[in-house]
Amino acid sequence: MSKEDLAAIVNSLLGGKNSSGQLLKLVGYVTNEDTKSQSIDYILSSEVLKECRLIFDTRDRDGKLQCAELIAEIAKIEKGRLACLESNLVPGLMSLLRFGKCEEVIEACRALGNMCFDCEKARRIIDENEGIAALLGILRENLCSRYETSDKLRTVALGFLLNLTNDNDIELSECNINKPVEFGKDNSNVSFKQMSVNIQFNASVDHESIQEKVCCLGAIDILQDYLNEIKDESTLRMLLNVITGLVDTDMCRDAILKRDFIKMSSELLTKKDVDPEIILEFLSSLCNSSDDAKLQLAMHCKNLLSVLERYSTNEEDIDILKSVTDLIVLLFAGEKSLKEVYKNGEGTLYREAIKWLQSDVEQLQCCGVLVIGNVATNDEQSISLVKQGVVSKLLNLLLPDPQKISDDLQHAIFSTLRNLSVPVENKQALINAGLLKVALQFYDSNLYVVQFKLIAMIRLLIDGQSEASSFLIKNVDFTKKIISLTDVQTHSGVQAESSRLLARLIKNSKDVESLSIILENDGLKPLENMMICEHDVMKNEALMAIIILANVLKNNIGDKIDKSNIMEGLKTLFDEKESLYIILNGLTLLNSILSHDKLKSKAKSLDIENSIKSLPFQGDEQFKVSSNVAYSLLK
């Protein structure tokens, strides 16, 4: 194509010669990847769009059809959309939408739908031209039509509704989701992920008002009728995507949840001629946005099991397997849905999940483990799980060869064991089951996310367990590893949990041999850093650990503290006027180390006495007692 050829076509069109034929040639150029960009630029620099507006006012049906098709292609790019709006093409397209034949309506939907793509101005203009009511009327009228082009019309009309009701000009949050669909001639191969819409953004007022208007005009009932009737897969994909987008607005979400969308869509999972992945993605979007949605799906969870029966054995179906197991785990995460699927250990889905622990399919094993972890978030249920013997089942997954256990499965198991370690009633039972001995085979993992869960589990498990704490500390390699992890800069979670575990080991051990091992392996430095961190709980834990070290090891620790910045840390806590309970523990530590001459001299040089006197707790009785002891020791 030469520029001269294109110019000749445009001039003929503008000259009124064979409008339909010239438009058809232009459509050919803009749909050809080799000539598309150059052709659109030339058309936008000409008067073609204005000519299209004039053609819409004529009786030239072929010309109107070609205009709509041309606009649909031009509106796929941002400058094309803006040019279409500036040329006031919406009224003509709306007329074609209302009164055109099937093919004309399809092209009008394509054009208007593409104009709405990432364009709030277009949505507003279409709304002002009563476009929402007209579009819903088309969807309603064509629900049961069985003409050759009916499926295409329904799909494109739903796509128009998708772009009309979903604001795309937002910041997406931690998910692999692209923009709403652009309409080409055929959308049958567009994946659900490509068309899905983030349901977690903050909608603009215009966007929300359009969704609410759609809801008020009866869209939800129309969409439910479509879900009940539609058999074409590409139309079903678009339909589910539209419903998912509407979940963003409270009014629409409430209307959706009051109807049978979840029941109907979950029943589609049992049909072999429907791709389960698009249904699972839709259900996941709903359940991620609403606990009521989780409860509704929990009541039909047998349909999820039917998917597993068909797809749990083939490696090529791993994506479907992961989607359904993720959804099952989600059902056990909602307060109401958990009760429905758990049923005090008698729920069908729960019993199946327990069986999956012995499966040869790792995805099912992970699902079973995470189900137990979610059930264990409630103390009463956690205690019941331990009594049921789930701990041995979990430990069996880690043995006999730790090297063969995948990182994902390790992470799931230690996350679940962490939850099981919370209730006081469970701790000794877990220790007796050999959990700590098994944990010692995994603490040296190179994967921080696994270490994070493992260390958190150990910290919770040893609370109040002196023998277990001493056992761990006396495993010197373990102690050295934990101390080294307190200095990890690339994973703040591991750094914090390691520091807290160190403090917890000290608190629960208290015997000279164990605490000496910590001191000899530079265990004081992490506590020194921890006492001036930004978290009050960690500050307090560090202070209590250093107090125990100072009181148990007495003279053996004085030089270590002198060479550290602990006294400077206390000065910082006092000067920054921390909360009362931190200050009281700070004074207790100060008073326990001031018997060392070097430390007493350092405290005086730092003028800690005046820092204490400037604190706003002078009227508190405990503060008075502790501060007076400090003043006496500092003399």
In this prediction, residue 205 carries a pLDDT of 38
- Report if residue 594 sits inside a domain: yes
CB 238 within 8 A of CB 197: no
In this prediction, residue 5 carries a pLDDT of 86
* Residues contacting 591, CB < 8 A, separation 6+: 626, 629, 630, 633
Tokens of 254: 């409430």
Q: Which of 496, 526, 556 is the last residue of a domain?
A: 556
Q: Is the pLDDT of residue 573 over 90?
A: yes
Confidence of residue 3 (pLDDT cuts 50, 70, 90): confident
In this prediction, residue 316 carries a pLDDT of 80
Rounded to two decimals, the pTM is 0.83
Lowest mean pLDDT among 53-67, 103-117, 312-326, 540-554: 312-326
- Report if residue 371 sits inside a domain: no
- Report if residue 604 sits inside a domain: yes
Confidence of residue 425 (pLDDT cuts 50, 70, 90): very high
Give residue-wise pLDDT tens across range 225-251. Answer: 999 998 888 899 899 999 988 988 899
Residues 588 and 512 in one domain: no
Distance CA 249, CA 243 (A): 11
Q: Is the pLDDT of residue 182 over 80?
A: no
Residues 534 and 573 in one domain: no
Residues 466 and 540 in one domain: yes
Distance CA 387, CA 426 (A): 9
Q: Is the pLDDT of residue 166 over 60?
A: yes
Tally of domains within the chain:
2
Residues 473 and 552 in one domain: yes
Residues 539 and 608 in one domain: no
Q: Which of 556, 573, 592 is the last residue of a domain?
A: 556
Residues 541 and 476 in one domain: yes
Range(s) of the domain holding residue 539: 462-556
Q: Is the pLDDT of residue 473 over 60?
A: yes
**Dihedral, CA of residue 184, residue 187, residue 191 and residue 197, to nearest 10:** 70
Average confidence score pLDDT of the chain: 90
- Report if residue 393 sits inside a domain: no
- Report if residue 213 sits inside a domain: no
Residues 470 and 536 in one domain: yes
Give residue-wise pLDDT tens across range 197-206. Answer: 222 223 333 6
- Report if residue 541 sits inside a domain: yes
Residues 526 and 584 in one domain: no
Residues 551 and 588 in one domain: no
Q: Which of 521, 556, 591 is the last residue of a domain?
A: 556
- Report if residue 549 sits inside a domain: yes
Residue recorded with tokens 């085979």: 441
- Report if residue 88 sits inside a domain: no
Residue recorded with tokens 């202070």: 543
Residues 606 and 623 in one domain: yes
In this prediction, residue 198 carries a pLDDT of 27
Residues 533 and 619 in one domain: no
In 118-204, alpha helices (H): 120-128, 131-141, 150-165, 192-195
Distance CA 155, CA 565 (A): 69
Average pLDDT over residues 584-589: 97
Residues 500 and 466 in one domain: yes
Tokens of 28: 């050919």
